[in-house]
Amino acid sequence: MSSPPRWSSTSSASPRPSGSRAEVPGLDAVPVPAADPDRTAGLPAVATGQSVEVRVPATSANLGPGFDTLGLALSLYDTVRVRTVTAGTTLVRATGEGSAVLPTDGTHLVARSLLSTLERAGFAAPGLELDTTNVIPHGRGLGSSAAAIVAGVLAGNALLPADRRLDDAHLLQWAAQLEGHPDNVAPALMGSLAISWESGHAYHSTRVEVHPDIVPVVAVPGSVLSTESARALLPASVSHHTAAANAGRAALLVHALAEDPSLLFPATQDSLHQDYRAQAMLPSATLLRGLRAAGFASTISGAGPSIMTLAVGTDGAEAAEETLRALLPTLDTPEPWRVLRLTVERSGAKVGVHQG
């Protein structure tokens, strides 16, 4: 395996956010500051007449034992189109997932992330018009908040004068600071599998190419779960034996994802978080047990409640879907589940810029 690129920088890292359940799970709870006219008064505005389009993939963090460390980019995308206009207001028009309840002004997470990125570089916005097309489910453990933050950060960066734009390392650091952790924003930015960690006061991440035979199959429930609620169920500490066992599986998982998918089932065995979180998502926990009993490399996606199966090849994906069709009707859930056969997104977020 060739040496992968590594992203890092030296800005201050922030702890994961904590708090009560969000009004829009996965989005409103993220502590990105809203625009403050007092802070931006006197700052030069970026040029009007610019148009930027950003497409950001969904992500699945943890992947079983890779808690707070591993994240995988998936072929499910949110798209944001931004225009700078002369009026000094921010207008957001949303379609798709969550559009009925998301804010339509500068408090929208994409707008907050964009405006914070401009302010960080010493600039303000003139007027902004944002059109968002949301495909990533909210509050389901598929990185919707990370996608919104990455979209805002990349759009804001593209609107800056060329000599003031952040490089890739600082884009990762800034997006991770806004999100509070790197395990979703890193694969959203870089694509494929990202291994992320903190050192001193910085976030770092390295990209690993995923074996081409791996096919993610995701079961998405109708119910939602906030990351904060799921995290509150975790114990403050675990035994040395448990930590060592989980470290071994996480190391094996990287090898399985990159080189030997036949090892995915043992490699996705978790000891740190999934059992503790089960009480908050009983149907998902039941589904997970059923899939693993059938021999599938299935995990909770992120903080849940979606369940991801890492299938091998088309035959493996079809077998996983057949098992899901048998298991899902047995669950006690008022709302239907969706089953999505995806691919690994290998390039990460994409940005297009138009002047005038």
**pLDDT tens track for 48-94:** 999 999 999 999 999 999 999 999 999 999 999 999 999 788 999 99
Round to whole Å and give the CA distance between 37 and 195.
38
Domains 50-208+345-355 and 214-341 equal at CATH topology level? no
Token representation of residue 279? 């009480």
**Each residue's pLDDT tens digit, 256-310:** 999 999 999 999 999 878 888 888 889 999 999 999 999 999 999 998 999 999 9
- 143 annotated to a ligand binding site: yes
Token representation of residue 270? 């978790």
**How crowded is the C-beta side of 66, counted as CA atoms within 13 Å?**
30
pLDDT of residue 77: 98
Q: How far is CA 25 from CA 71, 185, 186, 322, in A?
A: 19, 17, 20, 30
- 226 annotated to a ligand binding site: no
- 142 annotated to a ligand binding site: yes
- 127 annotated to a ligand binding site: no
Class in CATH terms, 50-208+345-355: alpha beta
Q: Where are the domains of the chain?
A: 50-208+345-355, 214-341
What pLDDT band is residue 98 in, cutting at 50, 70 and 90? confident
Mean pLDDT of 222-226: 79
pLDDT of residue 355: 67
Please tell me which residue, 166 or 224, carries the higher pLDDT value.
166
Smallest CA-to-CA distance from 82 within 49, 131, 135 is with 131
Contact 134, 100 (CB under 8 A): no
- 108 annotated to a ligand binding site: no
Domain covering 214-341 in this structure, CATH number: 3.30.70.890
- 319 annotated to a ligand binding site: no
- 21 annotated to a ligand binding site: no
Mean pLDDT of 234-246: 83
pLDDT of residue 155: 98
- 147 annotated to a ligand binding site: yes
What pLDDT band is residue 10 in, cutting at 50, 70 and 90? very low
- 145 annotated to a ligand binding site: yes
H helix or E strand, kind and range, residue 246: helix 240-258
pLDDT of residue 240: 86
* Average pLDDT in the chain: 88
Reported pTM: 0.89
- 266 annotated to a ligand binding site: no
Residue 60, helix vs strand vs coil: strand
- 139 annotated to a ligand binding site: yes
